[in-house]
Chains A and B, each alone.
Chain A
Amino acid sequence: MTTPGDSASEIWPLWEVFVRSNRGLSHVHVGSLHAPDETLAVRNARDLYTRRGEGVSVWVVPAAAITTSDPDAKGAFFESSAGKNYRHASYYSKSEGVKHL
């Protein structure tokens, strides 16, 4: 699998963008962009993904630095939990006041 930006004909490498919308929440992947270096990647991320007040913090990560699971190995990776509901904590009652479970 090739990453956009890796070949000589594509000068600007690809970056993945993570935005934290509020203090206390996690950074969430919002999309990707091209930028020549990390300094401009953060600025491009600001321009592309936070202009309507979406964020208080931005991370950019070189797409090439992300190791992904193999789409062809979906079965081996993710299917074993299907049909085994004893793996889920669905039989416990949730404590009052716990919002993000």
Chain B
Amino acid sequence: MSEDTVSIDSARADADDHGHVAVAVTTLDAELIEGPSLATPDVAEYALWLGDDALVLAQQLGAWISRAPELEEDVALGNVALDLIGHARSLLHYAGTATNRTEDDLAYWRTEPDFRSLHIVEQPNGDFAHTIARQFVVSHYVFELYSRLRASADQTLAAIAAKAVKEVDYHRDHATQWMLRLAQGTDESRRRMITALSDLWPYVDEIFRDEPLIDRLEGIAVRPSSLRPAFDAAIAPVFAEAEVELPNGFVASGGGRIGKHSEHLAFLLAEMQVLTRAHPGASW
């Protein structure tokens, strides 16, 4: 790809309001700017946790575009991905205020040991059932998390959570609807759904582990372990309706919050970052 193809074409960008996407500019909503604008190093680290989860998952879901079982589902997964990109932008923008870095610096110029995302979000898309199982777990967890983060003493985090929680509520519903249909559809769809859940379940434990960072952010962060009962209570009726047993296998070692990742993340980041690294500073 030549430099020309990624240069700014202002005439085209201004041509209509439908296709114009100003990805180069970070504009947080007014309510996100009014609070304390600079994150402390600990708050920034916590914002990285949540922002990286959203960013990695969004990148994963983007890979479904043109590959989903139906055109309508292409759009549905794309919409979820776009919501997550929005959450990632707000969170990474805020995280970057601690070290004077932009959201793009954080998204495109860190390598995998610097990423703080959970192992579950870097698990491969697999078949549609695996993606739905991953969405089901993550969106139920994030919904419980953002619901509580709305009351954070950090006003910026609280504002981001308040805005995002409504979208995550829909993601949760989308995944639940599909889990029920796959589990209760054909023999083949049920087999795949059960396989996907048992493949993903080892990575559920890591989500609810408390790291030392959480002790330093009392009243600001939500303690992951405190979310487990609400998570379990929310998913139980879905498993019951789907007539699927809760998976009960081994527990993966995790370590995503301290930058220890599986081999999957590096490939995902390579694809996500290649263009920016080939053309530093390019915008389009």
A binds B: yes
Task: Pick the contact of A48: B75, B177, B181 (CB < 8 A).
Answer: B75
Q: Is there contact, CB below 8 Å, between B75 and A43?
A: no
Inter-subunit contact B174/A43 (CB<8 Å): yes
By the criterion CB–CB under 8 Å, are B79 and A51 in contact? Answer: yes
CB distance from B81 to the nearest CB of A (A): 12
Q: Which residues of A contact B151 (CB under 8 A)?
A: none
Number of chain A interface residues as a range: 10 to 19
Q: Is the interface of B mostly helix, strand, loop or mixed?
A: helix
Q: Identify B173's interface contact among A43, A44, A51, CB under 8 A.
A: A43
User: Does residue B23 face the partner (Cβ distance < 8 Å to A)?
Assistant: no
The residues of B that contact A44 with a CB separation of less than 8 Å are 72, 75-76
Q: Is B4 an interface residue (CB 8 A)?
A: no
Does B21 have its Cβ within 8 Å of any Cβ on chain A?
Answer: no
A39 pairs with B177, CB closer than 8 A: yes
Q: Is B233 an interface residue (CB 8 A)?
A: no
From 175 to 194 in chain B, residues with beta carbon under 8 angstroms from any chain A beta carbon are 177, 181
Asked if A35 CB lies within 8 Å of chain B CBs, one says yes
A47 near B177: Cβ-Cβ < 8 Å:
no
Q: How far is the CA of A20 from the CA of B76 in the complex (A)?
A: 21
Residues of A within 8 A of B75 (CB): 44, 47-48
Name the distance in Å between A84's Cβ and chain B's nearest Cβ: 42
- A33 and B72 within 8 A (CB): yes
Nearest to B76 among chain A residues (CB) is A47
Inter-subunit contact A40/B177 (CB<8 Å): yes
Measured CB to CB, the closest approach of chain B to A31, in angstroms, equals 11
- A34 and B71: CB pair below 8 A? yes
Distance between Cα atoms of A43 and B73 in the complex (Å)? 10
Q: Which residues of A contact B (CB under 8 A)?
A: 12, 33-37, 39-40, 43-44, 46-48, 51
Listed from nearest, the 5 A-B pairs whose CB atoms lie closest are: A44-B72, A47-B76, A47-B79, A47-B75, A33-B72
